[in-house]
Amino acid sequence: MTKQEHTDYWLKTAAHDWDVAQHLFEAGKYDWCLFIAHLVIEKTLKAFWVRDAKRRVPRIHNLLEIAQATHLNLSEEQKKLLEEITTFNILGRYPDIKLKFYRRCTQEFTTLWFEKTKGLYLWLLSQMTSGKMSPNSSAN
């Protein structure tokens, strides 16, 4: 697989997962919506990893760690977003804390974080297509 094919793979699967997250939101499955939204950001960042890093894509889920291995220039606000969105993966994955996360994922909470995730996702896509690296280009 070429570097471009590998990058396209991550972006295509992220777009698919974004559609899934939207359907989960509409169905009121808020905990799963945010879990999948995390995967969208993770896969999009892994596309940047393929583009920018010399190593294989890691099997990690920490969004900030993945982002820091790329040439993206993230604002402090974006770094904090990545840290919070990473918790959706951890909280949604492990049974002993899953119920607490489920209760936290009200419609209000999920709407807020789904919109923040959407803004970050759209910003990342704009960086991929434009080649820009500035955190102040568009959506945060």
| Domain range summary for the chain, segments of one domain joined by + | 3-130
Q: Distances in Å between the alpha carbon of 82 and those of 27, 28, 39, 124?
A: 25, 23, 12, 12
Decide if 113 contacts 34 (C-beta within 8 A).
Answer: yes
Distances (CA, A) of 118 to 34, 35, 58: 11, 13, 24
Quick check: 38 pLDDT over 70?
Answer: yes
Architecture of domain 3-130: Up-down Bundle (1.20)
* 98 has a pLDDT exceeding 90: no
Distance in angstroms (rounded) separating the CA atoms of residues 15 and 119: 14
High-pLDDT (> 70) share of the chain, % = 91
Residue 99, sorted as left (phi over 0), alpha (psi -120 to 50) or beta, turns out to be alpha
pLDDT in tens, 47-96: 999 999 877 888 889 999 999 999 999 999 999 999 999 999 976 677 77
Kindly tell me if the per-residue pLDDT of 39 is higher than 50. Answer: yes
Average pLDDT, the chain: 90
Q: Read off the tokens for 23.
A: 């359907």
Q: What is the pLDDT of residue 135?
A: 43
Does the pLDDT of residue 134 top 70, yes or no? no
Q: What is the DSSP letter of 135?
A: T
Q: Is 96 exposed, middle or buried (0-12, 13-18, 19+ CB in 10 A)?
A: exposed
pLDDT at 29 over 50: yes
> Tell me: the pLDDT tens digits for 105-120?
999 999 999 999 999 9
**CA end-to-end span of the chain:** 32
Side chain identity at residue 140, one-letter code: N
